[in-house]
Structure 1
C-alpha cells in the first residue's frame, strides 16, 4: 500500500491510531514519556476549568465526567484520553474533569506526549484521531438534543449503554455509576424529571431499574443506531 493511501484511509486510521494504540505508543519507552499510574476516588479532580494543566490522562478502568460551570458535557471511560485537546503548554482547560467512582488512569507529561507525537513520523495521526473522536462525541450529543426530552433520554441511555455498559442478547445494562441525577445533568434536566422519565419508560417496557441499575430492553432500540457516529 502506498504511503499516502495508508495515511488517508479511514479504516486504517481507526484501527492503527485509536485509543488503545495511543496508550501502547506512550507506554513504549523507546522514546520515554514521564508517566504515573493513578488510583482515583469519587470526586477526585484531574484539572479545573480555566486552569493550565501539565498532563494527559488515559483511563484504564472507571469513569470521569467533564463539566463546564457544573453542567456535564461528556463522559470518558476505559481507554479514552483526557486532556489532549489542550495541546498548547499555556492553554487553559475549558472543562473540569472529575472521577465518578473508583478510577485507574495513566498520567503522562503533556509536553513530552506532544514532543513524542511530533517527533514520530506518524504521531500526528494519533492527534488527528483524538480530535476526530472528540468532535464526533460533541456532534452526536448535538444531534440527540434536537429531540424531545423523552427521546433524548432514551437515546442517551442507549448511547451510554453501548459505549460503557454490558450488552447482552436481550438487554443493555448501564454501569451503576450512571445515576438518574448524572444523566439528568448531562441532558440539562432535573433529577426529578429524569426519575419521571424512567417511570414512564418502565411502564412502556422500554427499560427497568434493577437494584439502581438502568437496564434497556434491546427490542426497542433498533432505530437508535443512527445516533452512534
Structure 2
C-alpha cells in the first residue's frame, strides 16, 4: 500500500511463453492463478511457479535478460504485469524495498541449491522427495486428508527432467511405489498417499 503502483491483468493459455531465455525484458509478473514451468536453453525443466510467485524480479537492471524460458503449463494462467521501472522506483523509495528484494533473491538461490542437492541423492529417494514436495506445493486435496492429487500439469517427462533422470526410470519407480500402495494412478491422475510416502522416505534416506 506504500507508493502503490498499477499493473495490468493478463491472461494466457497452455504453452504460451511469458519470457524468452536471453531476451530483454522490462516486465515483472505476479501469478494470480495457474502454473508455469521454467526451462533452460536446452528445454529442460528446472523449476515450477504458481499462485503468488513472482517472475522477472531476479535482476533489477532495465533491459536485463532472462536466464530461463517461462512457459504456461495450466490450461489458463492469470498474471498481473508490472513495469520493472515502476518496481525499481518503489524498491528504492521504501524502507523495506531492498530487504524484500534481498529475501526474494535468497529464495531463488535456495531453490537452485536445493535442486543441485536433490540431484546428488539416490534414484528412489530423489523421486520420492520430488513427489512429496510438488504435491505439497501444487497438489489438490482429496476427500482423504492424507491423500493429495499430484498436479496434472506436471507430466512424467517433466518429473524426469526436473530430477535429471530419463522417463523410463521415472516409470519404473512409480510402478514400484504403486505396488507399495504409496501412490494410486487413476486415469491421467496420480493420487499421493502423503503419510505412506513420508514413511517410505524415512526408510530409504
Structure 1 runs not aligned, ≥5 long? 1-27
1:121 lines up with 2:121 in the alignment: no
Q: CA deviation at 1:169?
A: 2.9
Q: CA deviation at 1:223?
A: 7.5
Residue matched to 2:129: 155
1:143-202 Cα shifts (integer Å, max 9, x gaps): 221112221111111110111113553223212111111211212222333222211211
Out of 4, 23, 26, the position equivalent to 1:54 is: 26
Q: CA deviation at 1:89?
A: 0.9
Query: 2 CA distance for matches of 1:202 and 1:223?
Result: 12
Q: CA deviation at 1:52?
A: 1.2
1:79 lines up with 2:52 in the alignment: yes
Contact kept, 8 Å, 2:26 with 2:63, in 1: the verdict is no
1:44 lines up with 2:16 in the alignment: yes
The 1:90/1:224 distance shift into structure 2, 3 A limit, reads: farther
Q: CA deviation at 1:219?
A: 2.4
Q: CA deviation at 1:33?
A: 2.8
1:146 lines up with 2:146 in the alignment: no
SS of structure 1 residue aligned to 2:45: strand
1:107 lines up with 2:81 in the alignment: yes
Count of residue correspondences: 197
TM-score between both structures, scaled by the size of structure 2: 0.88
Out of 176, 183, 196, the position equivalent to 1:219 is: 196
Contact kept, 8 Å, 2:132 with 2:197, in 1: the verdict is no
Residue matched to 1:95: 68
SS of structure 1 residue aligned to 2:62: coil
Out of 159, 169, 173, the position equivalent to 1:193 is: 169
* Higher alpha-carbon deviation: 176-185 or 71-80: 176-185
The runs of at least 4 aligned residues of structure 1 exceeding 4 Å deviation read 222-225
Residue matched to 1:176: 152
Q: CA deviation at 1:224?
A: 5.5
Residue matched to 1:166: 140
Contact kept, 8 Å, 1:63 with 1:100, in 2: the verdict is yes
Indicate the RMSD between aligned Cα atoms, in angstroms: 1.9
Residue matched to 2:180: 204
SS of structure 2 residue aligned to 1:153: helix
